[in-house]
Amino acid sequence: MNKDESIRFASRYLEDLLSFFGINVAVSSTIDDEVIQLSVPSTSLNSLLIGRNADNLRALQHIVSMALVSKEAEVTRVSVDVANYKRQRADRISEKAEGWIKKVRETGQSMEINLNAADRRIVHKVAQDYSDIETHSEGEGRERKLIISKIKIRDE
């Protein structure tokens, strides 16, 4: 299954999955950095689809991704967003990241923050705009943390 077929399949598969919950909506789809982006419009069941800590959203992503893997699709990574939940969350994390970076720049003290992988990625992207700040992740699994620090200038 080529890239375009993968996108169409993922979109249809999610629409079919949602119909089991009585949600009959058109799922919009795009591809960005080899990740199929599926967007579900707002419905009365947003909270059910998102779930606590977005667990249901991640489960939907996993199900669609595994369906793509079973079809030997060219693209198997999937991101599902319901009612722009992820976009709004990314905006909030970006704002927090700006504050964390400001604090590190003012104090010179590194910060260690517990974030999930998606949120760490957002902070890494924000930090790229600062030439005097670096970020990296340390640890394994759920214990993985993001470190924000000032770049140490070496004397030549």
Residue 135 lies in a domain: yes
Residues 77 and 141 in one domain: no
Residue 65 lies in a domain: yes
Q: Whole domain around residue 43: which residue ranges? A: 3-83
Residue 155 lies in a domain: no
Residues 68 and 117 in one domain: no
pTM above 0.85, yes or no: no
Residue 98 lies in a domain: yes
Residues 69 and 24 in one domain: yes
pLDDT tens for the chain, residues 1 to 156: 888 898 999 999 999 999 988 888 999 998 888 889 999 998 888 888 898 888 899 999 999 999 999 998 888 889 999 999 988 999 999 999 999 999 999 998 999 999 888 889 899 999 999 999 999 998 888 788 999 999 876 654
Cα–Cα distance list, 27 to 14, 65, 92, 129 (Å): 7, 15, 24, 33
Q: How many CB atoms lie within 10 A of CB 123?
A: 22
Residues 99 and 34 in one domain: no
Q: How many CB atoms lie within 10 A of CB 72?
A: 9
- The enclosing domain of 135 has a CATH number of 3.30.1370.50
